[in-house]
């Protein structure tokens, strides 16, 4: 994506027809991105609910002693590997292969998210989901429509995200409820901002690619992955922040 984002455009008189074409390309590209993202979230949601509310299925994620089973570890760790595969394999993988990897990622993420049904009340999960969807929608529209360059904000947010991850590692040893609450609040703020930043970046990429090409499809899938991660992380941090554990 960086090659596209870093293209040097000739500076000349503003061409209304060119701007209109860019706007049409951006809308088509963003529409594809949102379609892929919505499909991935739907798959993950169905898998999370199916596993999380079916005792026979959730039992496959644990051994008789209560520790995580092989399937449980695969569901927890494999999505990270699939994200790396999509990122580093962008040039080599075909659009169809990328779509297959993204679909598998959505399935495994859904299974891993089924654990929330063991930790939180159903009412809290559903309420938090709708709050997350509303927040995400507002920030996505803001990122798409604003004329303000959010690049600097994005850099700051990614640095803050690194600090947040380090704080989570520290709290894994400290097990501080107060620090956990603070981390959750900061996580909500970070991913709320990243939603707007990523949407603006996706819109810009959309003005420079043909979404019907192999490269355009792959870039749309990567954009969908970014927004998917923003949504899921925003949801999980909101869930931790709001509480409502069983």
Is the whole model's pTM more than 0.85, yes or no? yes
Residue 195 near residue 140, CB atoms below 8 Å: yes
Residue identified by tokens 């399935």 is 107
Q: Give dist(CA 79, CA 232) in Å, integer.
A: 13
As a whole number of Å, the end-to-end CA separation of the chain is 43
Q: Report the Cα 36 to chain-centroid distance in Å.
A: 11
Taking the CA of residue 87 as centre, how many other CA atoms within 13 Å lie in the half-sphere pointing to its CB? Answer: 9
- Can you give the pLDDT of all 246 residues of the chain as single tens digits? 444 444 333 334 445 444 555 667 789 999 999 999 999 999 999 999 999 999 888 888 888 777 888 888 999 999 999 999 999 999 999 999 999 999 999 999 999 999 999 889 889 999 999 999 999 999 999 999 999 999 999 999 999 999 999 999 999 899 888 999 899 999 999 999 999 999 999 999 998 888 788 999 999 999 999 999 999 999 999 999 887 544
Q: How far apart are CA 76 and CA 113, in angstroms?
A: 9
Distance CA(231)–CA(37), nearest Å, equals 10
């Amino acid at each position: 994506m960086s090659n596209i984002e870093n293209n040097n455009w000739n500076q000349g008189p503003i061409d209304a027809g060119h701007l209109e074409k860019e706007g049409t390309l951006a809308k088509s590209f963003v529409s594809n991105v949102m379609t892929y993202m919505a499909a991935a979230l739907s798959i993950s949601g169905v898998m999370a609910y199916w596993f999380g509310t079916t005792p026979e299925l959730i039992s496959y994620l644990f051994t008789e002693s209560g520790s995580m089973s092989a399937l449980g570890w695969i569901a927890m760790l494999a999505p990270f590997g699939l994200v790396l595969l999509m990122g580093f394999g962008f040039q080599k993988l075909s659009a169809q292969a990328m779509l297959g990897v993204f679909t598998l990622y959505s399935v495994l993420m859904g299974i891993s998210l089924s654990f929330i049904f063991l930790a939180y009340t159903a009412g809290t999960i559903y309420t938090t989901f709708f709050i997350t969807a509303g927040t995400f929608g507002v920030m996505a529209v803001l990122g798409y429509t604003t004329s303000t360059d959010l690049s600097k904000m994005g850099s700051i947010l990614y640095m803050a995200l690194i600090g947040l991850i380090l704080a989570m590692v520290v709290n894994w040893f400290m097990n501080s409820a107060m620090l956990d609450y603070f981390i959750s609040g900061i996580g909500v703020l970070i991913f709320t901002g990243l939603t707007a930043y990523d949407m603006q970046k996706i819109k810009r990429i959309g003005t420079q690619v043909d979404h019907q090409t192999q490269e355009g499809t792959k870039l749309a899938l990567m954009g969908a992955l970014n927004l998917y991660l923003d949504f899921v992380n925003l949801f999980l941090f909101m869930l931790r922040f709001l509480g409502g554990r069983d």
